[in-house]
Amino acid sequence: MIIGSILKTKGSEVFSVGPEDTILSVARSLTERRIGAALVRDAGGALLGIISERDIVGGMASHGPGTTGLKVEEFMTRDLVTVTPQTHVTHALALITHRRVRHLPVLDGEGRLCGMVSIGDLVKARIDEAEQEAEALKAYVAAAG
Protein backbone atom coordinates (compact mmCIF):
# COMPACT_ATOMS: atom_id res chain seq x y z
CA MET A 1 0.00 0.00 0.00
CA ILE A 2 1.20 3.54 -0.74
CA ILE A 3 0.67 6.88 1.01
CA GLY A 4 -1.54 8.10 -1.84
CA SER A 5 -4.08 5.39 -0.93
CA ILE A 6 -4.29 6.72 2.62
CA LEU A 7 -4.80 10.27 1.37
CA LYS A 8 -7.64 9.16 -0.91
CA THR A 9 -9.55 8.04 2.17
CA LYS A 10 -8.26 10.60 4.69
CA GLY A 11 -8.23 13.61 2.41
CA SER A 12 -5.56 16.20 1.79
CA GLU A 13 -6.58 18.92 4.25
CA VAL A 14 -3.73 19.94 6.52
CA PHE A 15 -3.99 22.36 9.44
CA SER A 16 -1.31 25.03 9.30
CA VAL A 17 -0.19 27.89 11.50
CA GLY A 18 2.10 30.86 10.96
CA PRO A 19 5.56 31.33 12.45
CA GLU A 20 4.35 34.41 14.33
CA ASP A 21 1.43 32.61 16.01
CA THR A 22 1.78 32.12 19.76
CA ILE A 23 2.37 28.80 21.42
CA LEU A 24 -0.86 29.26 23.38
CA SER A 25 -2.94 29.74 20.23
CA VAL A 26 -1.38 26.66 18.61
CA ALA A 27 -1.87 24.55 21.75
CA ARG A 28 -5.52 25.56 21.82
CA SER A 29 -5.97 24.76 18.12
CA LEU A 30 -4.31 21.35 18.45
CA THR A 31 -6.54 20.55 21.41
CA GLU A 32 -9.73 21.72 19.68
CA ARG A 33 -8.94 19.74 16.53
CA ARG A 34 -7.69 16.72 18.48
CA ILE A 35 -4.46 16.57 16.46
CA GLY A 36 -0.83 16.33 17.49
CA ALA A 37 0.88 18.67 15.05
CA ALA A 38 0.43 21.51 12.60
CA LEU A 39 2.53 22.54 9.64
CA VAL A 40 4.12 25.97 9.83
CA ARG A 41 3.73 28.02 6.67
CA ASP A 42 4.52 31.59 5.74
CA ALA A 43 1.96 34.07 4.37
CA GLY A 44 2.64 32.79 0.84
CA GLY A 45 2.02 29.18 1.83
CA ALA A 46 5.66 28.06 1.78
CA LEU A 47 6.39 25.21 4.18
CA LEU A 48 8.72 26.32 6.98
CA GLY A 49 8.46 23.47 9.46
CA ILE A 50 6.17 21.65 11.83
CA ILE A 51 5.07 22.33 15.40
CA SER A 52 4.04 19.32 17.47
CA GLU A 53 2.94 18.67 21.01
CA ARG A 54 6.44 17.34 21.61
CA ASP A 55 7.97 20.62 20.37
CA ILE A 56 5.70 22.61 22.67
CA VAL A 57 6.49 20.51 25.75
CA GLY A 58 10.22 20.59 24.99
CA GLY A 59 10.13 24.35 24.48
CA MET A 60 8.26 24.87 27.73
CA ALA A 61 10.79 22.73 29.59
CA SER A 62 13.65 24.78 28.11
CA HIS A 63 12.15 28.26 28.46
CA GLY A 64 10.16 27.89 31.69
CA PRO A 65 7.23 30.08 32.72
CA GLY A 66 5.81 32.53 30.21
CA THR A 67 6.36 30.36 27.16
CA THR A 68 2.75 30.49 26.01
CA GLY A 69 3.29 33.97 24.58
CA LEU A 70 6.36 32.99 22.58
CA LYS A 71 6.21 32.49 18.82
CA VAL A 72 5.92 29.20 16.97
CA GLU A 73 9.15 29.91 15.08
CA GLU A 74 11.04 29.57 18.38
CA PHE A 75 9.74 26.03 19.03
CA MET A 76 9.07 24.50 15.61
CA THR A 77 11.06 21.73 13.98
CA ARG A 78 12.60 23.02 10.76
CA ASP A 79 14.17 19.79 9.50
CA LEU A 80 11.14 18.04 8.03
CA VAL A 81 10.93 14.34 7.29
CA THR A 82 8.64 14.01 4.25
CA VAL A 83 7.21 11.35 1.98
CA THR A 84 5.54 11.33 -1.43
CA PRO A 85 2.19 9.85 -2.44
CA GLN A 86 4.15 6.95 -4.01
CA THR A 87 6.02 6.09 -0.79
CA HIS A 88 5.16 2.64 0.54
CA VAL A 89 3.55 2.57 3.97
CA THR A 90 6.22 0.19 5.27
CA HIS A 91 8.94 2.66 4.24
CA ALA A 92 7.05 5.53 5.92
CA LEU A 93 6.77 3.48 9.13
CA ALA A 94 10.51 2.85 9.01
CA LEU A 95 11.13 6.60 8.62
CA ILE A 96 8.91 7.39 11.58
CA THR A 97 10.69 4.82 13.72
CA HIS A 98 14.21 5.78 12.64
CA ARG A 99 13.73 9.56 12.75
CA ARG A 100 11.51 9.47 15.88
CA VAL A 101 8.72 11.60 14.43
CA ARG A 102 4.96 11.10 14.49
CA HIS A 103 3.83 13.07 11.42
CA LEU A 104 4.99 13.09 7.82
CA PRO A 105 4.06 15.86 5.38
CA VAL A 106 3.32 14.42 1.95
CA LEU A 107 4.91 16.33 -0.94
CA ASP A 108 4.49 15.64 -4.64
CA GLY A 109 7.43 15.39 -7.05
CA GLU A 110 7.55 19.17 -7.37
CA GLY A 111 7.57 19.79 -3.61
CA ARG A 112 3.90 20.81 -3.34
CA LEU A 113 2.00 19.79 -0.23
CA CYS A 114 -0.49 16.94 -0.84
CA GLY A 115 -1.42 16.15 2.76
CA MET A 116 0.00 14.76 5.96
CA VAL A 117 -0.04 11.32 7.55
CA SER A 118 0.45 10.37 11.17
CA ILE A 119 1.78 7.24 12.78
CA GLY A 120 -1.84 6.34 13.53
CA ASP A 121 -2.77 6.59 9.86
CA LEU A 122 0.13 4.33 8.91
CA VAL A 123 -0.54 1.72 11.58
CA LYS A 124 -4.23 1.61 10.63
CA ALA A 125 -3.27 1.13 6.97
CA ARG A 126 -0.94 -1.76 7.83
CA ILE A 127 -3.58 -3.43 10.01
CA ASP A 128 -6.18 -3.08 7.24
CA GLU A 129 -3.72 -4.53 4.74
CA ALA A 130 -2.88 -7.47 7.03
CA GLU A 131 -6.58 -8.19 7.58
CA GLN A 132 -7.21 -8.19 3.83
CA GLU A 133 -4.30 -10.57 3.28
CA ALA A 134 -5.61 -12.90 6.01
CA GLU A 135 -9.09 -12.93 4.44
CA ALA A 136 -7.61 -13.66 1.01
CA LEU A 137 -5.60 -16.58 2.45
CA LYS A 138 -8.69 -17.95 4.23
CA ALA A 139 -10.66 -17.76 0.99
CA TYR A 140 -7.84 -19.48 -0.90
CA VAL A 141 -7.58 -22.30 1.65
CA ALA A 142 -11.37 -22.73 1.73
CA ALA A 143 -11.52 -22.93 -2.08
CA ALA A 144 -8.64 -25.40 -2.22
CA GLY A 145 -10.04 -27.66 0.49
- List per-residue pLDDT tens for the chain, 145 residues long: 999 999 999 999 999 999 999 999 999 999 999 999 999 999 999 999 999 999 999 999 999 888 999 999 999 999 999 999 999 999 999 999 999 999 999 999 898 999 999 999 999 999 988 888 888 888 878 888 6
Decide: 14 and 103 in contact? Cβ < 8 Å: no
Class of the CATH domain delimited by 3-144: alpha beta
Domain extent listing, the chain: 3-144
What's the pTM value of the predicted model, to 2 decimals?
A: 0.87
| pLDDT score recorded for residue 136 | 80
Angle between helical axes of 23-33 and 53-63 (0-180°, round to 10): 150
Report the distance separating Cα 106 and Cα 86, nearest Å. 10
Give the bridge partners for 100, in sequence order: none
